[in-house]
Amino acid sequence: MVSGNIFHCRKHSWPSEEYISKATLQLLDFDSAAPPEQAWRRRLNSHANLLKEFSVTFMEAMKMLRLGVRLWSYVREEASQGRKAPIDPFTRESCKPSASQGVPLGGMGSGSISRGFRGEFRHFQIVPGLCEASPILANQFSIFISRDQGNKKYASVLAPGLHEGLGKSDGQGISSWGWNLSGQHSTYHALFPRAWTIYDGEPDPELKVSCRQISPFIPHNYRESSLPSAVFVYTLVNTGKERAKVSLLLTWANSIGGISHFSGDHYNEPFIGEDGVSGVLLHHKTPKDNPPVTFAIAACETQNVNVTVLPCFGLSEQSRITAKDMWGTMAQDGHFDRENFNAGPSIPTSPGDTLCAAVSASTWVEAHGKCTIAFSLAWSSPKIKFSKGSSYNRRYTKFYGTSERSALNLVHDGLMNYKRWEEDIEKWQNPILRDSSLPEWYKFTLFNELYFLVAGGTVWIDGHLPAADDESNINGNRNRLTDKEDNYNLDVRVTEPKVNVKDGVVVEHDRINGFSGGYGVIDDDEKMYGSLHRNKSMNWEDNKRSNNEMQVTSSGTHSDDEDVGRFLYLEGVEYIMWCTYDVHFYASFALLALFPKIELNIQRDFAKAVLSEDGRKVKFLAEGNWGIRKVRGAVPHDLGTHDPWHEMNAYNIHDTSRWKDLNPKFVLQVYRDFAATGDMSFAVDVWPAVCAAIEYMEQFDKDGDGLIENDGFPDQTYDAWTVHGISAYCGCLWLAALEAAAAMAHQLGDRQFADKCKSKFLKAKPVFEEKLWNGSYFNYDSGSSSNSRSIQADQLAGQWYIASSGLPSLFDDSKIRSALQKIYDFNVMKVKGGRIGAVNGMHPNGKVDESCMQSREIWTGVTYGVAATMILTDMKEEAFTTAEGIFTAGWSEEGYGYWFQTPEGWTTDGHYRSLIYMRPLAIWAMQWALSLPRAILEAPKINMMDKMYMSSNARASTNDMGGVRKLVSKTKCFSNAVFHCSC
């Protein structure tokens, strides 16, 4: 799909020619029917090329041969247990990826359905972790037009061309429909979470049609952003001299993607709801004991719009009413029999049969007149069940109850509320869209990359406890389990610290089993407080008998207004691990900016995880050695796959307890989030985990110079790129984590820990610069391998976070600018003229580092992170040029076709790896850098380079936790912490 000139001449960032005539735009300029100028665009007749998948070189294959054999064996073992391995490079989707994606449907965490830019519904992700990529071709919008006296008639599916797989056109299935649209005069416009399809005289030359797709993704709205629904608003403008009867048709298969419609026991039923909302419910029984799903398709009847339904039709000749019969009725009459509303539930299907439904909305459009018709789609699957047994109620059930029939209320509320949704969306987006200082490509790419929070596989649950087995009613009364039997958690330990007021120390006690709630290790009503680096020898019972004891309990007990539930999102649809933390480090800027309460809750989940231990044995596939699943003090790689929160670290290629980037990334994210929100309750909640994370890393300082060393294997997010000794990436993150931990300790009054981190920082920083700084950038590592002097694009990741958090820079400005300029000149501009992003590794001679598959890749999220660092260093022009490479290669019409499926990365010749990936959300780090929150801009700068001085007497009299207690006491009004003490 890539034309040669993408890399040989610099085009405008976005085509200047208009995709729609000004006359048509003026006709549609009401009721938000016209797309905004800043939307991403495609013609419907654009060819959706197949994408080119990544492949390893012969040498890389030889290096990974043993890993491949072990991984293949592991994938087969998981399959024998009825589970899908989190990483499976051996199984390929039957539907080959193509450049056909568009804005997905629905809010976050309740399942999602994507919709291609040409109108096909695809990528069904209703069951967590399962993505059915193939389009369901029976799911379509169609239009039927007739003018006075029947002189002109048009009937067409509103999708271009006859798709592959439809079968013979003379059959009884959907191939018999009118696939007449060429798409030549129709265009798609995307600005997530909305999309517009403009049919400019197709199929009727005298009718302009705008279809506006709206989903309830509304920042800071934690209710409606969880709803599994979408609205389609059709605006019709008749430019002819005769009035026209127009009927729009929505057809839908009783399917959750793939071949699920063949499984049997599905049934449909029509309904007439309130406020003229009428349609069909499609009840779907899922396989493998997964919770059932109910779809609702509906339209809104008004004084001018008549709604009718066909509750059931089939796709085979054996069906009582076939797809061909349905089409014939609409082509002749433009509506169905109103008696269909009295049909009641249909007979459940037999295996092998496909059951579909249709909703028609008809109206007369006067000559030179306008009319609006609104449809709604919703799906209700109130419970989610993970493959190892845990079930939860989805977030939206807090407001709609746990009946599948809540789909009826969801479609109704969508049709009643979509205008308010749009007002809120425009209020959020307009300041950025109207900012003339920002490139046009950046504006729509910024919003459209958010597609991942819907289509990337997200789970948002109501509250903290597993769902009850009993169904509750639609009013939202829920019986929930208070305990979960977990027979496989026999080796899990939890640390319970308590703060002793008299001595200002923390004692620890390991409790095995007997706990309930999240992780299978820490109850959700237990929070870890105090500083874990102090007195670890005091007897628990002695402390318990102390009269001066003050115990801190959970701040996880939120009021209904404050409890936003718990949130999971996948690393990618090909890497099925929830909340992969080394990648969340890049993506989290989007959540922090738009849904900060979700971001804080994810950090709380990881804070509790740091203090837990899971002693079950796991085989690590890279080396074939064994270790324990979760080590206390180590930040987990992820929250699991088959039983998230209860069984963490689904990733088993390497032992991530030995990784050098996870713990520093946790400290940096926690401080950034604290600095941005000013949430003292959050800071107190996570502080013990911050201390534990820092102290855990001390074991990797082998020579006592304050700086951690890598261990000669890929112990970082670049898990195929070996590191020796001190590394630019991990070392910089460690320095930044020490500065952030010292700053946080200072603000919480833990002076001893602040001084400890400060001392380490001042000791480690000159060592880092001496070992790695070569005069223009930081070497990849301090080893002697062929790539030790490579220019790593991500070498300033720690500085990026420090600057994003309002802390003083790690290095002299001259060094930071020099390193960024080197990255720009070499990693960006020496690869295809800067039109493809920043390659991860580049030799100082200007050749790409091909020592491993990851060093030669361009990682989309890393490129955005580098651009954000440049913005924070006042290199704005270089920043946008760097990030524009991702737009050009991934999103532009001349590019590779990765829109709405941005991969982890691609090679210099455009072969992708891992489509629909979390890390590209890092583009929101650029927006963060452009508009730092006031809390960060106005925060006092804590100068790490100040000389430390504390007399021995002063040190001895310091009560380290006193500051924490005083701060929390002063902030009771916004702190959820509860102090049990007599005062």
* Predicted local confidence at residue 531, as pLDDT: 33
- pLDDT-based confidence at residue 357 (cuts at 50, 70, 90): very high
* Predicted local confidence at residue 597, as pLDDT: 97
**Above 80 in pLDDT, residue 51?**
yes
**Above 90 in pLDDT, residue 955?**
no
What amino acid occupies position 478?
R
* Predicted local confidence at residue 264, as pLDDT: 81
**Beta strand pairing call for 978-980 and 549-553:** antiparallel
* Predicted local confidence at residue 172, as pLDDT: 74
pLDDT, one tens digit per residue, over 623-653 is 999 999 999 999 999 999 999 999 999 999 9
Cα torsion at 767, 768, 774, 777 (round to 10°)? -160
**Above 70 in pLDDT, residue 907?**
yes
* Predicted local confidence at residue 941, as pLDDT: 63
What amino acid occupies position 542?
D
In angstroms, how far is the first alpha carbon of the chain from the final one?
72
- pLDDT-based confidence at residue 388 (cuts at 50, 70, 90): confident
Taking each helix axis from N to C end, the angle separating 440-448 and 923-930, rounded to the nearest 10 degrees, works out to: 120
* Predicted local confidence at residue 541, as pLDDT: 31
Residue of 393, 359, 453 whose CA lies nearest to 114: 453
* Predicted local confidence at residue 258, as pLDDT: 85
Lowest mean pLDDT among 534-548, 553-567, 740-754, 819-833: 534-548
* Predicted local confidence at residue 165, as pLDDT: 53
pLDDT, one tens digit per residue, over 841-871 is 999 999 999 999 999 999 999 999 999 999 9
What amino acid occupies position 111?
G
Q: Is 517 exposed, middle or buried (0-12, 13-18, 19+ CB in 10 A)?
A: buried
Domain boundaries of the chain, sorted by first residue: 28-51+97-436, 566-938
* Predicted local confidence at residue 150, as pLDDT: 67
The edge-to-edge listing of strands for the beta sheet with 355-365 is 153-157, 140-147, 244-253, 355-365, 306-314
Tally Cβ neighbours within 10 Å of residue 127: 22
* Predicted local confidence at residue 621, as pLDDT: 95
**Above 50 in pLDDT, residue 900?**
yes
Chain CA centroid to CA 279, Å: 32
How is residue 828 annotated by DSSP?
I
Q: In 728-804, at which residue ranges do the beta strands (DSSP E only) sit?
A: 791-792
* Predicted local confidence at residue 130, as pLDDT: 87
- Give pTM, 2 decimals: 0.88
Can you tell me the distance from the alpha carbon of 551 to that of 498, in angstroms, rounded to the nearest whole number?
6
Contact 193, 214 (CB under 8 A): yes
**Above 80 in pLDDT, residue 821?**
yes
Lowest mean pLDDT among 17-26, 419-428, 577-586, 688-697: 17-26
- pLDDT-based confidence at residue 449 (cuts at 50, 70, 90): very high
For the 566-938 domain, the top CATH level (class) is: mainly alpha
**Above 80 in pLDDT, residue 482?**
no
Contact 902, 892 (CB under 8 A): no
Residue of 761, 726, 766 whose CA lies nearest to 740: 761
- pLDDT-based confidence at residue 268 (cuts at 50, 70, 90): very high
Q: Average of pLDDT values for 604-633?
A: 96
* Predicted local confidence at residue 422, as pLDDT: 97
**Above 90 in pLDDT, residue 959?**
no
Q: Average of pLDDT values for 778-799?
A: 97
pLDDT, one tens digit per residue, over 305-314 is 999 999 999 9
- What does the buried/exposed string (b/e) look like for 911-948 if buried means 16 or more CB atoms within 10 Å of the residue's CB? bbbbbbbbbbbbbbbbbbbbebbeebeebeebebeeee
Lowest mean pLDDT among 107-111, 347-351, 559-563, 589-593: 559-563
* Predicted local confidence at residue 464, as pLDDT: 65
pLDDT, one tens digit per residue, over 722-758 is 999 999 999 999 999 999 999 999 999 999 999 999 9
**Above 70 in pLDDT, residue 77?**
yes
Tokens of 621: 């596939």
* Predicted local confidence at residue 467, as pLDDT: 63
* Predicted local confidence at residue 537, as pLDDT: 29
Q: Average of pLDDT values for 490-509?
A: 37
**Above 70 in pLDDT, residue 196?**
yes
pLDDT, one tens digit per residue, over 53-75 is 878 888 888 888 889 899 999 89
**Above 70 in pLDDT, residue 109?**
yes
Residue with the larger pLDDT of the pair 893 and 306 = 306
pLDDT, one tens digit per residue, over 663-721 is 999 999 999 999 999 999 999 999 999 999 999 999 999 999 999 999 999 999 999 99
What amino acid occupies position 164?
E
Residue of 412, 386, 427 whose CA lies nearest to 301: 412
* Predicted local confidence at residue 943, as pLDDT: 61
Taking each helix axis from N to C end, the angle separating 662-677 and 596-610, rounded to the nearest 10 degrees, works out to: 140
**Above 80 in pLDDT, residue 968?**
no
pLDDT, one tens digit per residue, over 389-411 is 789 999 999 999 999 899 999 99
**Above 50 in pLDDT, residue 553?**
no
Can you tell me the distance from the alpha carbon of 965 to that of 748, in angstroms, rounded to the nearest whole number?
9
* Predicted local confidence at residue 979, as pLDDT: 23
> What's the whole-number average pLDDT of the chain?
84
* Predicted local confidence at residue 59, as pLDDT: 83
Q: Average of pLDDT values for 220-243?
A: 96
- pLDDT-based confidence at residue 911 (cuts at 50, 70, 90): very high
What share of the chain in percent tops pLDDT 90? 69
**Above 60 in pLDDT, residue 958?**
no
- pLDDT-based confidence at residue 549 (cuts at 50, 70, 90): very low
Q: Average of pLDDT values for 879-896?
A: 95
* Predicted local confidence at residue 381, as pLDDT: 94
Can you tell me the distance from the alpha carbon of 941 to that of 806, in angstroms, rounded to the nearest whole number?
7
